[in-house]
């Protein structure tokens, strides 16, 4: 059947696989020209308003000095805001199909593919971490035991060499003692190696897996942290002001007006309705 691919042997899906028809590549330059053309009236209005406001600001750089000038500025602000609202609406309408396409790309390639693959890898890594930790612990224990065994053997041989009256035999035993001590030193180095080195495993296709440090933190006593910052034993950067929370209680007309450590001021701004 034209435009379709036949399912392979063993394929249980009832839905046919349709060949994708690839869209033409988006061109930002072409899109910009089209937007300027589609919204020519809005662009012209924008330029006129900005030019008028610029002339006013050049004439009154410090702001209006009487009611007439104030009213003129208010009319301009009202017109500018209304036009800006039209631009915002046009922006939403023009961008909507691109947002929907972007969400489709996110869904297929990020959420359904990238994110699912990443979560699957994490499931595998969780079990690998358990094995790697056990492998590292076993390797460390074996190396510690070997180091202790060889150190004891080196001590025994050294004492035997000291007690031997035959010089040649004493020298030979001492060589054995030194060899045992070297083995003990090597085992000690293994026992004190990093967890990554002790747990490292190589796959058949070039991959390497190992257990690495991953330090995390949880807040168990926020007041203790606050006291530490206040006492100078922890930097102030460890505490972050939540602007959305503080602003939410300060901005209302009946809002909070006193917060320790903060300066709350009323800075009125002109508004046009």
Per-residue pLDDT tens over the stretch 119-128: 999 999 999 9
Give residue 116's pLDDT band: very low, low, confident or very high (50, 70, 90).
Answer: very high
**Residue pair 210/200 in contact by the 8 Å Cβ criterion:** yes
Q: Scan for tokens 């297929």, then name that residue.
A: 108
State mean pLDDT over 94-117: 94
**Does residue 74 register a pLDDT over 90?**
yes
Chain centre to alpha carbon of residue 60: 48
Q: What are the pLDDT digits (tens) for 188-212?
A: 999 999 989 999 999 998 898 998 8
State mean pLDDT over 21-34: 76
In the chain, % of residues over pLDDT 70:
91
**Does residue 8 register a pLDDT over 70?**
no
Give residue 3's pLDDT band: very low, low, confident or very high (50, 70, 90).
Answer: very low
- Looking at residue 66, its pLDDT comes to 94
Dist CA 49 CA 87 (whole Å):
13
- Looking at residue 4, its pLDDT comes to 42
Dist CA 40 CA 36 (whole Å):
6
User: How many residues are present in the chain?
Assistant: 273
Dist CA 160 CA 164 (whole Å):
6
**Does residue 14 register a pLDDT over 80?**
no
- Looking at residue 27, its pLDDT comes to 84
User: Exposure pattern of 108-119 as b/e (b: 16+ CB <10 Å)?
Assistant: eeeeeeeeeeee
What is the helix (H) or strand (E) element at residue 18, kind and residue range?
A: strand 17-18
Dist CA 55 CA 155 (whole Å):
97
What's the whole-model pTM score? 0.62
Backbone φ/ψ region at 206: left (φ over 0), alpha (ψ -120 to 50), beta: left
Three-class SS of residue 77?
A: helix
Q: What are the pLDDT digits (tens) for 214-247?
A: 888 888 899 999 999 999 999 998 998 889 999 9
**Residue pair 236/261 in contact by the 8 Å Cβ criterion:** no
The chain-wide mean pLDDT, for the chain, equals: 88
Query: What is the dihedral sign for C-alpha 176, 178, 179, 181?
Result: positive
């Amino acid at each position: 059947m034209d435009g379709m691919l036949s399912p392979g042997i063993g394929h249980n899906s009832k839905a046919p696989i349709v060949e994708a028809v690839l869209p033409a590549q988006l061109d930002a330059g072409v899109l910009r020209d089209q937007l300027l053309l589609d919204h020519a009236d809005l662009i012209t209005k924008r330029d006129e308003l900005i030019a008028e406001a610029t002339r006013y600001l050049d004439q009154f750089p410090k702001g209006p000095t009487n009611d007439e000038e104030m009213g003129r500025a208010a009319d301009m602000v009202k017109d500018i805001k209304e036009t800006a609202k039209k631009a915002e609406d046009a922006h939403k309408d023009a961008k909507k199909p691109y947002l929907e396409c972007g969400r489709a790309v996110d869904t297929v390639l990020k959420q359904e593919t990238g994110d699912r693959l990443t979560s699957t890898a994490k499931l595998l890594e969780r079990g690998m971490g358990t094995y790697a930790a056990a492998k590292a612990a076993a390797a460390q224990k074996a190396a510690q035991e070997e180091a202790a065994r060889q150190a004891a053997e080196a001590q025994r041989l050294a004492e035997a060499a000291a007690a031997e009256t035959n010089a040649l035999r004493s020298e030979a035993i001492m060589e054995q003692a030194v060899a045992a001590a070297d083995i003990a030193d090597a085992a000690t180095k293994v026992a004190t190696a990093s967890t990554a080195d002790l747990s490292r495993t190589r796959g058949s296709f070039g991959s390497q897996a190992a257990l690495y440090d991953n330090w995390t933190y949880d807040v168990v006593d926020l007041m203790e942290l606050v006291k530490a910052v206040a006492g100078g034993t922890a930097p102030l950067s460890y505490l972050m002001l939540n602007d959305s929370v503080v602003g939410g209680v300060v901005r209302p007309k009946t809002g909070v007006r006193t917060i320790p450590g903060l300066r709350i001021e009323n800075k009125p701004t002109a508004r046009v309705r």
